[in-house]
A and B are shown apart, each in its own frame.
Chain A
């Protein structure tokens, strides 16, 4: 059970500052959603947490400051990040993608977990030896999640899993995430525009606007909040 504690996180690209001091918490096994429109800084937030870009401020995992450490290091501390656009290895087969996902683990563990996730995602089993680049967006998203799970993370960072997917497929992806999380007890930090589905699986949430957290609360509170309903739920 990993706890994540982010304080006053500032990050950006070159001279452009995207995050203006973000603070958030995730207790062990919690599912936390960060809602935000395009350009709010959702992707940057995850990239900053997993060490893909330089940051100021603190990122604590179980109390230890890991701000600025490389993704290779964070992965070994139990943080797996499914990047925006899924980050599939297009030239590798489905099975090879999973093997890369289990890079830090032993061959026996990789073999065991490969079967496990192929059982959970039968579509991936059918395409086991097919190159990942030739699969549909939904299949690639499933593969990306399975690949991240291969490292047996205690904290999963998901960057807009609904991006570019048809509504039915998106619903499918979210229900898979929900059942995996329930089974493994993995903590999840998911950033999304699709507030409906994301709040549906989340315990708590934050709203990110132009690089700052503007409100937070339980999933139920956020779903009931009028301004959030207007901005993100389209009702």
Chain B
């Protein structure tokens, strides 16, 4: 029993990072109907920026917040200078996806050139403490991140459902042309959407770095794959789904690897993706996603 609980805790530890990155993917998808494959590398890049602040003597938590602000600006500028020129959501989505893959490579190499290929050390955001729950140990770090995650989900739920900005974001996603005709400032709205997503991505980056106690150029790549799986599992248009999806994938990977001997650590990626496949067969829109409705 104690081993089981320990594995659940370890699963949550992995899942919390997938969940936050998946949240960033979902926010961009909801705000602009696009997938940003560079989301993980953007997060890595802003994490190095946070590290630069840390190196200059800024406390890690303040550096985390600053990197989210920088992330917001980078996301908004990226949208304005690059994605808009490709026509935004109304343009060719394939071209945009390819461009985000190009960005992936540029950011990865760019970070390597600026900060070097060796990992840099960072502290844990919530300290090194551990607490015993039900006889199993869990780090304060994981509990803290779960708390931040809960706040983010509630915050974004309220943003999308209760605020005028949220309504504008949803209207622009649903029908950009009509949103403009209704007086919504489409460009500004989309810049904010990309900014928000990149800010969350920045948090995902510093959280990942905090978990690993280090930052390096390749730290977000596996996390991005898991995050896409999490967003798919939870439903691409649901912030809550992204988070639940992320946690489930973390848990399932940990438990299956722990209990099924055939699947060792080498096949760690497998169980989560099998689960995604099975869920999609039954519920193509994901666990919390809404099915597209359109009558001719």
Contacts and interface: CB of A to CB of B under 8 A. Distances in A.
Interface of A: 50, 52, 70-72, 75-76, 80-81, 83, 87-92, 96, 99-101, 103-104, 131, 133-137, 147-148, 150-151
Given A72-B186, A89-B175, A92-B171, A81 B181 contact: yes
A10 to B, nearest CB: 22
Interface residues of B, number: 25
A54 to B, nearest CB: 15
Contacts, number: 85
Interface string B274-296: 00000000000000001011111
Given A72-B185, A96-B170, A99-B167, A134 B293 contact: yes
B294 A89 contact: no
A133 B292 contact: yes
Interface string B161-193: 000100110110111011111111110000000
Contacts of B170: 89, 91-92, 96
Given A96-B170, A103-B164, A90 B294 contact: yes
B184 A87 contact: no
Interface of B: 164, 167-168, 170-171, 173-175, 177-186, 237, 290, 292-296
B115 to A, nearest CB: 41
Contacts of B175: 87-90
B168 A83 contact: no
Contacts of B177: 52, 83, 87
Nearest to A110: B164
25 contacts: A52-B180, A52-B181, A70-B180, A71-B183, A75-B182, A75-B183, A80-B181, A89-B174, A89-B179, A91-B237, A91-B292, A91-B293, A92-B171, A96-B167, A100-B168, A100-B171, A100-B179, A101-B182, A103-B171, A103-B184, A104-B183, A133-B292, A133-B294, A134-B294, A135-B295
